[in-house]
Amino acid sequence: MTTDETATTTPPEVPAPDESTPTQLAQSAAYNLGNTIRSSWRFSADNARQHLAHVSPEAKELLLWAFNWCIDPTHPIAFADFCDRIGYNTNTLYKIYSGKYLHPTTKKPMDAPPKLVSALRQFKRLEVTRSKLGRKKFVPTPTASRIFQACDLARESQTPVFVEGASHIGKTEAFKQYCLENNHGKTRLIELEAVSGLHGLVKAVAVVLGISPNGNAADLTERIKRAITPDMVLIFDEVHLLANTYRRGSFFACMEWIRRLYDFCQFGLVLSFTALGFAAAEKERKRELEQIFRRGVHRINLGDRPLKGDVKAVIEAWGLEMPAPADVEEIAIGRGKVLTEEPYKLLDQLAREQGLKAIIERLRYAAKFAADDESDLSWQHVCKAHLVILKNAQSPTTGWEKEAA
């Protein structure tokens, strides 16, 4: 094993598992010994891509897809379990991934067997289907359609596409769904919430691309370049959060790193901001950020709130009809008291002030009330959920008021 291959066997930094059950205790012991799902795949994406250069395009695509799919914490599969699933022993698969699958006589690298390609096709089809069924229901809203369009534009034009929009309108969920529906091993989402500084950014990209994050930024950058192909799309979500550091220059260093990576690899690039984050970046456009902004032709503005069509799609997905502006609901609050609520105005206010997530949470809470009543979900349940959420946010009475008076 070469020095480079040895370096790739170190697992990425992942949080230690909880230890509250016997199964989790076993997982914790394995974690402490370095026996993680990622470490079971004893190679890295950049090396695997090089070692698979001689195999057929379909075999290469499927093998790389399987590698990235199985090391993803969302649906982790150990290397041995993967080999068992597709009916090949671990030694043979390792030789194929590491470029050591040689002809017994000529000693030349051999292509992947047709039987393996067929098994990989079936494995991918089954895994993607299971993932779609297991994910919480995705609602195809008009805003999600525009986000899909942004990703398609990035792939087709191989240029940076800027996406801006308010918080909580479904950007991240739409990006995740796009990756699931359009992956083919070539669409990756980098969520930047926990990233700190340039090195943190580089490590985050490395992990998403299937590269061990251990190493300095320069070495990781070179390996990332080898792992990216022009037909890929990298989606950087919440880019404005890169500015959340004590050094103002760190944000510009991160943006410049992304720009240089794009210039070198010429891939599809999506940069997603909140509306305020994009406005702040635009102020720097004529100075530090001019280079990357000039490379982006397409800009998708999603607006400052969820669209009415977004809300309507979500409402209908929960089995309700969009209320009319004149609709009124009465909610009993005890002791003979009744409050009235106008669902249409309620939705309008929530969309304007809090976003789609606040509406979805009220629907979820309302479904619980409907289940308790053993009845179908109704707008009365939604309005009741809204009132309970408002009441929970109020400061309680202490019980000392009368005595103090």
Nearest-angstrom CA–CA distance, 351 and 340: 20
Q: What are phi and psi of 2, to 5 degrees?
A: -80, 165
Least Cα distance to 366 among 392, 349, 386, 393 occurs for 386
**Predicted confidence (pLDDT) per residue in 358-369, tens digit:** 999 999 999 998
Q: E strand or H helix at 61, and its extent? A: helix 57-71
11, amino acid identity:
P
159, amino acid identity:
T
Under the banding of pLDDT at 50, 70 and 90, the label for residue 29 is very low
Radius of gyration of the chain (CA): 25
pLDDT confidence of residue 6: 36
Neighbours of 25 (CB within 10 A): 13
Nearest-angstrom CA–CA distance, 13 and 355: 33
**pTM, to two decimals:** 0.72
Contacts 24+ apart (CB under 8 A), 222-228: 223/44, 223/46, 224/46, 224/261, 225/261, 225/264, 225/265, 226/46, 226/49, 226/50, 227/44, 227/45, 227/46, 227/49, 228/261, 228/265, 228/267
Residue pair 126/93 in contact (Cβ under 8 Å)? The answer is no
**pLDDT: which is higher, 321 or 244:** 321
Q: What is the largest CA-CA distance in the chain?
A: 98
Nearest-angstrom CA–CA distance, 292 and 141: 30
**Predicted confidence (pLDDT) per residue in 59-93, tens digit:** 999 999 999 899 888 888 999 999 999 999 999 99
Distance of CA 265 to the CA centre of its chain: 22
**Predicted confidence (pLDDT) per residue in 253-298, tens digit:** 888 899 999 999 999 999 998 876 666 666 665 566 677 777 878 8
Nearest-angstrom CA–CA distance, 131 and 263: 34
**Encoding tokens for residue 11?**
């697992």
Kindly state the DSSP code that residue 120 receives in the 8-state scheme.
H
